[in-house]
Structure 1
Amino acid sequence: MNVAIKSALAAMVLLASSASVVNAAGAGTGSVTFSGEIIEAACSITPESVDRPVPLGSVSKSQLSGGGVGTKHYFDIELIGCSLTGLTDKTVTATFTGTGTTEVPGALALNGVAGAGILLTEFDGTAITLGNATTPKAITPGSNTLTFGAQLKGQSSTTGTVGTGTFTAVTHFALAYQ
């Protein structure tokens, strides 16, 4: 083989190998971050239940005026891997905390809108008081679902008017097993 052909083949091999390196480098990189918590509890909480969004929709100001309420939306706290070893009553309670509002007594304050709040309820409609444990719920080994409700409530017409705009509100919960 003559020197020109050998040089041309060597150049083609070098070019082909450098092109695959460029392709590999341009394919993209990234990272995956894992987080969680190991707890001493009778049950595990599913990841979807730890940080759960609950959209309350678009509610008209007129519906909330004079202390009116919006539609109740239900949300679940899913428990898995429950072991009742060491529990005497085989029950669980939830305590919800967050910033309350004086505009709507007993309600969770809204960030971004005045004159309304979010009422939390147990599944049966019993009002939940922020900072107080809910009624104990029986649990069984394995998986369990705790269901709660949330709805907007406007302040009474004697205390002011309901504002408009987008809002957020955050409540945290802690479970206690008996």
Structure 2
Amino acid sequence: MKLNKIMLAAAMTLGTISMANAANQGSGSVTFKGTIIDAPCSIEPGSLDQTVKLGDIASGQLKNGGKSIPQDILIKLVGCDVETAKTVTTTFSGTESDATPGLLAMKGSARGASIAINDIDGKVLALGKASKGQQIEDGQATLRFSANLQGDGASAAIVPGEFNSVADFKLAYQ
């Protein structure tokens, strides 16, 4: 009987030690971020921090104020209270181009062009100007815009290189 107690104690001790030395088979952490906003709609998380890839654009395409092919910018609104708001306008802001007022300045080694943000009709939406209202239907809306690179005019020399820029947006509900 005394031998059984000794064996049981030894087995329990060895079992505990082996569990303590088990290899880590993966671990990590999950960070949750968000903001509670005082607005009729929530902004879908994928719409908050977007990257619009304008692509590799031939310098000849930008000569004399030429434009690249527009790429979509979609801002998705969900969970909208349509009792409070029926339409929404969007205002973009950022560092304005010195060469082409109303357009977004580029950062990087490329020169001679600026970034145009266009409204739902494909017309340039100047920085700091509100877009026309877009409808909120069935508690949601997809606000449609586009962006393209535009040459700064006939006198601007197009200098190839990389570029980037950041535009922020603000929504206003009516």
Q: Same fold (TM over 0.5)?
A: yes
Q: Could you say which residue in structure 2 is the equivalent of 1:57? A: 55
Q: Say yes or no: does 1:103 pair with 2:99.
A: yes
- TM (normalized to structure 2)? 0.87
Matching of residues 67-78 of structure 1 within 5 Å:
67-78=65-76
Note the C-alpha offset of 1:30. 2.5
Q: Structure 1: which 4+ aligned runs deviate by more than 3 Å?
A: 9-17
Residue 127 (structure 1) shift: 1.4
Unpaired runs of at least 5, structure 1: none
SS of match in other structure, 2:144: strand
- Matched with 1:164 is 160
Whole-angstrom CA distance in 2 between matches of 1:97 and 1:62: 28
Q: Distance in 2 between matches of 1:165 and 1:11?
A: 70
Once the two structures are TM-superposed, the CA of residue 15 in structure 1 deviates from its matched residue by: 4.8
- Alignment-derived partner of residue 20 in structure 1: 19
1:143 paired residue among 140, 147, 160: 140
Contact 1:83 1:141 in 2 (8 A): no
- Cα distance in structure 2, aligned partners of 1:170 and 1:106: 14
Letter of the structure 2 residue corresponding to residue 167 of structure 1:
F
Which of these residues, 69, 73, 82, is aligned with residue 84 of structure 1? 82
SS in structure 1 of the partner of residue 148 of structure 2:
strand
Pair 1:123 & 2:120 matched: yes
Give the secondary structure class of the aligned counterpart of 1:20.
Answer: helix
Deviates more, 1:55-64 or 1:134-143: 134-143
What's the RMSD between the two structures over aligned residues? 2.2
Q: CA deviation at 1:66?
A: 2.1
State the Cα deviation string for residues 15-59 of structure 1 (Å, max 9, x = none): 5543332225x2343321111111111111100001111111111
> How many residues are matched?
171
Aligned amino acid, residue 51 of structure 2: P
The one of 22, 26, 30 equivalent to 2:28 is 30
1:62 alignment partner AA: G
Structure 2 alignment gaps of length 5 or more: none
TM-score of the two chains, using structure 1 as the length reference: 0.85
Q: Is the 8 A contact 2:82 2:139 kept in 1?
A: no
Letter in 1 for 2:44: T
